Amino acid sequence: MTILKEITDNVGEGQRIYDGAGISRTIKDGGGQGAKTGMYKIGARVRRLTPVECERLQGFPDGWTEGINDTQRYKCCGNAVTTNVITAIGEELLKHIPTD
């Protein structure tokens, strides 16, 4: 498991650029060009995640936030709980409940 490496120095959170290889940073509900998703260098190009990519990272189906503007879509993903993680925690907890 590789953690993302920041490739910028001494810049605000919304201007930080991360190497595109590794685990995504936290999706947030914040301001600035890259504050919600982070910005990633993929080859020679720097970009932020799309709303659909954020939905996928959170374990939601593509288009889960469709029908509202992108700012609101990012907010929905940033304020959500990652469903895959909650499912895994729940499954582990169920293993420890007595069945008698």
Average pLDDT estimate for 73-93:
90
Cβ–Cβ < 8 Å for 9, 25: no
| Total residue count of the chain as it appears in this document | 100
Quick: pLDDT tens for 16-48: 777 767 676 677 656 666 666 777 788 888 888
Domain boundaries defined on the chain: 13-94
How does pLDDT run across 51-81, given as a tens digit for each residue?
A: 998 899 888 999 999 999 998 998 898 888 8
Choose which CATH entry (1.10.10.10, 3.60.10.10, 3.90.120.10, 3.30.70.890) describes domain 13-94.
Answer: 3.90.120.10
pTM: 0.70
